Amino acid sequence: MSTHKRIYDLSPAEAAEVENLTLRIAKEYSSPEDEQLLRDLPLLATELPLGQRRFLRDFALEDELGYCVVRGHTIDHERIGPTPQHWRGRPIPTPEFPEEILLLLHGSLLGEPFGWKTQQDARLVHDIFPIKGFETEQMGIGSTDTLTLHTEDAFHPWRADYLLLECLRNPDEVATIVSEPDLRSLDPEHLEILHEANFLIRPDDSHLAKHNVTKGVDAEFSEIAEMKADDNRVAVLYGSREHPYIRIDPYFMETPKDPAARRALEAVSDLLESSCLDVALEPGDILVINNHRLAHGRQAFQARYDGTDRWLKRVSITTDLRKSHERRASATARLI
């Protein structure tokens, strides 16, 4: 059992300190994509309270828990304004640039922020809010259907090591679903099969060309299209046998033809479903997800579309930028 605490609650004094820090940094840089900001993040993060930094570092090093929450940041609802209708066409920087910096500072204590050329028009920090017309989609912008349990970008070998979700607004207390299964409870025969490369995980719909207007990334979208049909089988469990890591997104996986593989996938999917917990994020919470241990999703809800909708910010963090070198434009570029 891990000794790491699940929640770090900032004191009011710490929250004020952090707010001043992010407001100051926002004046010194131009946007979340500002290359100088990305270079400076770990240097700037040393100004976060020590307890907060230690909490994140311990979470990462112990590598036991699937998630933790840093709670108590101040969100200035006046300044950030209403929840937008779409993530496209926002001003640069956005009014919530200080909140984006806050998310990036947390990420920089765990690794390097990166983004996808094929997702949210290649932006580094993503918006998660309901968008009209996408209600029933299996994407963060959906609402009326449960967002089914998944590893973020499970299909991709360069998926995030950590995924950070920051809550700006959540008036209806819509829960993020977390599932941290005790994989050791699985049948040894299933465990064996899940550790072998038997499974096809397809790209999810957020990476489709039709949801993006980014120019000059035809090669990347073609690659996604190929990954929808290839025969690149992967293991669902990996790492140690005693405390395995998991990559899974049952909704976007193919049912294995082999009956034993099919039964093993069903068993781990059932275990995931029976290990679910609701975490309703509060404004000022940052949910830190260990993307090798936790599967996550979101409860269904009714969107308001009146500027008061639930609004999260999301960023992907890698501990190893080098593995995606071939796809990044330069050593310091963040888009893959």
Ligand X SMILES: O=C(O)CCC(=O)C(=O)O
Ligand Y SMILES: NC(=[NH2+])NCCC[C@H](N)C(=O)O
Indicate the Cα dihedral angle 71, 77, 82, 84, nearest 10°.
-40
Choose between 312 and 321: whose C-beta lies nearer to Fe ion.
312
164 binds ligand Y (CB under 6 A): no
Among 137, 152, 161, 285, binds Fe ion (CB under 5 A): 152
* Among Fe ion, ligand Y, ligand X, none, residue 298 binds (CB under 5-8 Å by kind): ligand X
Instruction: From 116, 103, 93, select the one nearest 29 (Cα to Cα).
Output: 93
For residue 96 the two structure tokens come to 């919530």
Q: Say whether residue 313 binds ligand Y (CB under 6 A).
A: no
Asked if 204 touches Fe ion (CB under 5 A), the answer is no
Q: Does 147 bind ligand X (CB under 6 A)?
A: yes
Per-position x/- string for 138-157, each x denoting binding to ligand Y as judged by CB under 6 A, each - no binding: xxx------xx-x-x-----
Q: Per CB under 6 A, does 151 bind ligand X?
A: no
Cβ–Cβ < 8 Å for 160, 113:
no
For ligand Y, the closer of residues 22 and 214 by Cβ is: 214
Cα–Cα distances in angstroms (integers) from residue 66 to residues 178, 244, 305, 336, in the given order: 8, 12, 32, 25
Q: Which of 251, 290, 39, 67 is nearest to 160 (CA)?
A: 290
Q: Does 144 show up as a binding residue in the annotation?
A: no
CA-closest candidate to residue 143, choices 326, 265, 314, 305:
305
Q: What tokens does 271 get?
A: 């275990």
Binding residues with Fe ion: total (CB under 5 A) = 1
Q: Which residue is nearest to ligand X (CB)?
A: 140
Sole window of 135-143, 169-177, 212-220, 275-283 interacting with ligand Y (rule: CB under 6 A) = 135-143
Q: Provide the H-helix boundaries in the chain.
A: 12-28, 35-44, 50-62, 77-80, 97-108, 188-194, 218-227, 259-274
Q: Of the listed pieces 68-76, 86-94, 99-107, 245-253, which binds ligand Y according to CB under 6 A? A: 245-253
Examine residue 265 and tell whether it contacts ligand X (CB under 6 A): no
Amino acid at 141: I
In the bound state with ligand X, the residue whose beta carbon lies nearer, of 37 and 154, is 154
Asked if 164 touches ligand X (CB under 6 A), the answer is no
Please give the radius of gyration of the chain, using alpha carbons only, rounded to the nearest integer: 19
Q: How far is CA 89 from CA 145, 273, 320, in A?
A: 26, 37, 31
Would you say 150 is a known binding-site residue? yes
Determine if 176 is a binding residue for ligand X (CB under 6 A).
Answer: yes
Q: Which does 334 bind (CB under 5 to 8 A by kind): Fe ion, ligand X, ligand Y, none?
A: none
**Is 195 in a helix, a strand, or coil?**
coil
Q: Which of 291, 305, 276, 265 minimizes the C-alpha distance to 180?
A: 276
Residue numbers 182-221 binding ligand Y by CB under 6 A: 204, 206
Among 105, 194, 253, 312, binds ligand X (CB under 6 A): 312
Tokens of 235: 């293991």
CA distances from 116 to 81, 222, 328 (A): 27, 14, 10
Binding site for Fe ion (CB under 5 A): 152
Contacts with ligand Y, residue ranges (CB under 6 A): 138-140, 147-148, 150, 152, 204, 206, 249, 251-252
Instruction: Summarize the annotated binding site for Fe cation as residue ranges.
Output: 150, 152, 296
Residue numbers belonging to the annotated binding site for 2-oxoglutarate: 176, 310, 314
List residues forming the annotated binding site: 150, 152, 176, 296, 310, 314
The binding site for ligand X (CB under 6 A) comprises 128, 140, 147, 152, 165, 176, 296, 298, 312
